[in-house]
């Protein structure tokens, strides 16, 4: 229920993407929001008000002369009740209307009449690729952003006209994530957060290797939470099957050495490094170029190991960290004696904050429990879903950054 208590006015202008608005409306309600649908006359050519009324469980508004409002001022009443107005789809024509301040229908009139400092306007464009690329549309897009509207971007792919390119309306779940992110406090605005996530894979031969059970879910949740908090986020991910969080730049790696190189390369731009990856401590000293085969003798190949580079310690001991320009956060996945091991690891890695968890209880799971260890002691964050924990951790890190800068 990420949008519990939020009242969203969902505006539909004319376009084939109106069919996506039905799924979006339903998704918003499932997340706890109440939804008031306002449609233009053109939108009603693509999807009926009856459909949107059934999904929103509220009468749909389409006319500024709607007599249901006692004062006949739907454009005032609807905008004052909203926590946000989301236009999805926003056609090229409707975007031009907003730029020019034209208000010849209820939806545009309501957008113009909204209290700008209290009711944010989010816009999900939807149009043909040539219409989207046209200089007039791009000028309008830039002006809407300058006027304070939140442009949610467009998708790329096949369009109803048969062409392929930019201009599709984002998918309902993408819009949902953007709306949820919009309401999150921007406590990391201006920061660049580097996150490592997932396991590493150390090859024995082309088909075998040493790895661990880390799913990467905690690291990906932290990357999403940091992006929601307003940070620029780079995610260095080991071999995992997870979708990249919206708005996050991703670098895929395989081995610990690959991850080390990527993190070191990205660290110069970062102000925060959160090392959630479960990096293999050792790797085989040699990797066979061909699959090692059984020969029937019963003899087992002997493997030698060398220690992998310590990514967290390397960045924590860098000159930027020493000067307070890079705040390093470590993770410790333990099987027992969490407090003792996490405390020792924080001291050994020389980081201001170490986050501990019990690996076997969290690897592959959607929830977790965290132990935050710093120079003053330890604090538990009770078990919760990983995104909720990630948001709490991001808020904690933001407070530490403020104290560090004082």
Helix (H) or strand (E) holding 135: helix 135-146
Distances 405 to 328, 342, 399 between C-alpha atoms, Å: 15, 26, 10
Query: Which residue in the list 25, 161, 263, 328 is annotated as catalytic?
Result: 161
- DSSP string covering 14-46: SSTTHHHHHHHHHHHHHTT-EEEEEE-TTGGGT
Cα distance between the two ends of the chain:
36
Task: Provide the residue count of the chain.
Answer: 406
Rounded Cα–Cα distance for residues 359 and 354 (Å): 15
The number of C-alpha atoms within 13 Å of 73 and in the hemisphere containing its C-beta is 8
Q: How many CB atoms lie within 10 A of CB 162?
A: 6
Whether 161 is a known active-site residue: answer yes
Q: At what angle do helices 92-100 and 135-146 cross, to 10 degrees?
A: 50
Q: Closest by alpha carbon to 247, among 326, 157, 329, 152?
A: 152
Rounded Cα–Cα distance for residues 389 and 367 (Å): 8
Q: How do strand 272-275 and strand 327-334 relate by DSSP bridges?
A: parallel
Q: How do strand 272-275 and strand 377-385 relate by DSSP bridges?
A: unpaired
60 phi and psi, to 5 degrees?
-90, 140
Distances 95 to 9, 145, 221 between C-alpha atoms, Å: 17, 11, 34
Beta bridge partners of 357: 333
Active-site annotation, residues = 161
């Amino acid at each position: 229920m990420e949008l519990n208590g939020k009242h969203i006015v969902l505006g539909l202008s004319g376009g084939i993407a109106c069919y996506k608005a039905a799924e979006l409306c339903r998704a918003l309600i499932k997340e706890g929001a109440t939804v008031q649908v306002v449609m233009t006359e053109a939108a009603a050519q693509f999807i009926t008000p009856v459909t949107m009324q059934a999904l929103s469980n509220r009468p749909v508004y389409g006319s500024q002369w709607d007599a249901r409002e006692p004062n006949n001022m739907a454009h005032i009443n609807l905008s004052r009740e909203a926590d946000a107005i989301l236009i999805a789809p926003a056609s090229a024509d409707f975007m031009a209307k907003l730029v020019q301040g034209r208000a010849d229908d209820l939806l545009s009139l309501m957008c113009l009449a909204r209290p700008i400092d209290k009711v944010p306007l989010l816009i999900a464009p939807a149009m043909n690729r040539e219409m989207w690329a046209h200089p007039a549309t791009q000028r309008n897009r830039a002006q809407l952003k300058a006027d304070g509207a939140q442009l949610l971007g467009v998708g790329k792919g096949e369009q109803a006209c048969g062409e392929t390119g930019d201009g599709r309306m984002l998918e309902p779940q993408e819009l949902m994530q953007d709306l949820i992110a919009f309401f999150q406090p921007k406590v990391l605005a201006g920061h660049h957060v580097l996150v490592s996530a997932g396991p590493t894979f150390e090859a024995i031969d082309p088909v075998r290797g040493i790895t661990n059970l880390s799913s990467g879910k905690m690291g990906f949740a932290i990357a999403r939470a940091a992006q929601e908090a307003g940070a620029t986020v780079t995610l260095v991910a080991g071999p995992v099957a997870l979708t990249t969080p919206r708005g996050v730049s991703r670098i895929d790696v395989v081995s610990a050495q690959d991850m080390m190189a990527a993190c070191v390369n990205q660290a110069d731009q970062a102000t925060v490094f959160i090392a959630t990856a479960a990096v293999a401590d050792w790797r085989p000293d040699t990797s066979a170029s061909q699959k090692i085969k059984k020969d029937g003798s019963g003899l087992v190949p002997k493997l030698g190991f060398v220690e992998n580079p310590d990514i967290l310690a390397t960045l924590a001991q860098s000159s930027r960290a020493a000067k307070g320009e890079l705040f390093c956060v470590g993770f410790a996945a333990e099987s027992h004696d969490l407090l003792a091991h996490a405390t020792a690891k924080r001291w050994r890695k020389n980081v201001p904050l170490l986050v501990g968890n019990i690996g076997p209880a969290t690897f592959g799971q959607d929830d977790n429990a965290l132990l935050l260890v710093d120079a003053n002691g330890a604090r538990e964050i009770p078990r919760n879903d990983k995104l909720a924990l990630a948001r709490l951790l991001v808020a904690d890190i933001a407070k530490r950054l403020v104290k560090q800068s004082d």
